[in-house]
Structure 1
Amino acid sequence: MNLIKLIAIDLDDTLLHDDISLSEYTRDTLRKAMQKGVRIVIATGRMFQAARPWGQAIGLGDVPMICYTGSLTGLCESGRLIRDVRIERQTALAILETIREHGWYAQTYIDDEIYVAHRDERTDEYERQCGVKAHEVGDDFYHPKKAPTKILLCEHDEEKMKEIEKVLRETYSGEVGQVKSKPYFFEMNNKECSKGKAVASLAKEWGIAMEEIMTFGNGNNDVSMLSMTPWGFAVANASKSAKEAAGHETLSNNEDGVAKAVEKYVLGERELEIGNEK
């Protein structure tokens, strides 16, 4: 399937294994695709400094990395930020006041740094997963001088998460982009941003058509890029909405599903028909 010119890939639970590792087989497969002239782009909900090491591990070069679910794009090697679309500041302040009133745990992302009001075990867990330290700023958290790129709420209690989602969706519908990226993560970013829009913007810049793009994802924040092309692949461990958005399905993240599909349809001779791999 030599028509593919751009592959956009989510990181967590898609490209990376559950233990936050990347197999040598996957690295080699993606490098072979690049040697054939295929552009590889990471499209993740992660912050740039937490995503960049994975782009460097693959050897992507100084290519754009889509972060914060499409809100920020930075160059992998140089670290230069080329796009940072933030939540409107007054909207962000209103959201943070709602968070304060309810006593919810949240993190803001400003200038590619993490901020929390007060640390707890969720801060520690997030730092372990992403390898980035958070700044504890007390009540200043609720009155940032700069608008955040993203606001994330973390809650492992299912009923409490339902309340968080209900209140924020009802109160700020149409004002910000909102997605439940994991069962315990509820994220908000600029309403005009998504992974799909960011991938489409790069494709337009590079003169690549939608039918020349392959995308891989697992979560609700991947839906926009899985549905934008005939060659959207959901990994086997993907959410229901991701699988419904994708035209195709591959093996799970722990089985190197991304690399298997790339090897089969981009490096190999196997032809892929629309809707044939569900």
Structure 2
Amino acid sequence: MAYKLVALDVDGTLLNDNHVMTEQTMQTVMEASRQGIEIVLCTGRGPQNTIPFLEEMGLKGYVISHNGAATVEVESRKVVHQFALDHHALKPYMEHCRQQGIHFDINTPFGMYVDQVEALAGPVRYMYEKYLMMPSNLPAWEELDGPVVKFTAFGESKDMDALFQAWSQWTPVYNMLRSGEYFIDLMQEEASKGNALKLLAEQRGYKREEILAIGNYYNDVTMLSYAGLGIAMDNSPVDVKAAADEITLSNNEDGVHAALLKHCLV
């Protein structure tokens, strides 16, 4: 099959555990682009700390950010599609986090907000530095730079397990998913990487069978299931591997390089 669009998750997929894109993987992605394949990064990150990876490779096109909640054109920074959520319903989640001492941030397509930037310290500050994105102080809702597209809770794995279990007992309001071992995301009900990829593919004129997707975590399952060929990294949880059509090497073994070499390069 001649694939025309490749959707790549970023953390745990395109990047190794040191949050670095290796030279081999980068060169292979660039070669796929040179051969006419459109490269789309599909990530839980925002566009500000996703677009630089494409620009580093000299690529344009689109990024699907915030786990599918906002799709952005690289050159113009224009939001071509977004799933805005009802921020009024976030109040009980915010209060619960504050009562339990759980850190959270609120995301618009291009903005990230927390209660007190000046109070960020320890693992929380390190997390933002590692992902190359520092938030701003949360203003009044009407002063945000755009609609809210994602709410993220961050903490130790065991705390996120307990929080996920607790929120699972609440009346469902949002699409709630684990986007990483230390993260829980709340988004609009229809927001997902799979739905965003479907919308972008239709806009770009690609058939489902012309799409290859590679990912490694639960937030990638809808994308892997939608694509004509869904490939899970070897570092994926068992459930994610089960949702994929194929398994490639881990992110520390250039699994993206191996998958593209097998299925896309001529």
Q: Give yes or no for TM over 0.5.
A: yes
Equivalent position SS for 1:15: coil
Task: Give 2:224's aligned amino acid.
Answer: L
CA 1:9–1:136 in structure 2 vs 1: closer, same or farther (change >3 Å)?
A: same
Residues 206-240 of structure 1: CA distance to partner in whole angstroms, max 9, x if unpaired? 22111111000000000001111341100110122
Equivalent position SS for 1:227: helix
Identity percentage over the alignment?
Answer: 29
Match of 1:144 in 2: 141
Match of 1:35 in 2: 34
Q: 4+ residue stretches of structure 1 with deviation over 6 A?
A: none
For the 8 Å contact 2:46–2:109, the answer to whether it is kept is no
Gaps of 5+ in 1: 269-278
Correspondence for 1:186 among 160, 184, 187: 184
The whole-number CA distance in structure 2 between the counterparts of 1:115 and 1:95 is: 15
Gaps of 5+ in 2: none
5 Å-filtered alignment, 1:23-102, equals: 23-61=22-60, 63-102=61-100
Correspondence for 2:218 among 202, 217, 220: 220
The whole-number CA distance in structure 1 between the counterparts of 2:227 and 2:93 is: 34
The whole-number CA distance in structure 1 between the counterparts of 2:115 and 2:194 is: 32
Q: TM-score, normalised by structure 1?
A: 0.87
Equivalent position SS for 2:247: strand
Aligned residues between the structures: 260
Equivalent position SS for 1:179: strand
The whole-number CA distance in structure 2 between the counterparts of 1:34 and 1:190 is: 32
For the 8 Å contact 1:42–1:65, the answer to whether it is kept is yes
Match of 1:235 in 2: 233
The whole-number CA distance in structure 2 between the counterparts of 1:240 and 1:172 is: 28
For the 8 Å contact 1:123–1:134, the answer to whether it is kept is no
Match of 2:14 in 1: 15
CA 1:172–1:59 in structure 2 vs 1: closer, same or farther (change >3 Å)?
A: farther
CA RMSD of aligned residues (A): 1.8
Task: Give 2:141's aligned amino acid.
Answer: P
For the 8 Å contact 2:70–2:109, the answer to whether it is kept is no
Match of 2:125 in 1: 124
Superposition deviation, residue 121 in structure 1: 1.9
The whole-number CA distance in structure 2 between the counterparts of 1:60 and 1:124 is: 30
Equivalent position SS for 1:167: helix
For the 8 Å contact 1:230–1:247, the answer to whether it is kept is no
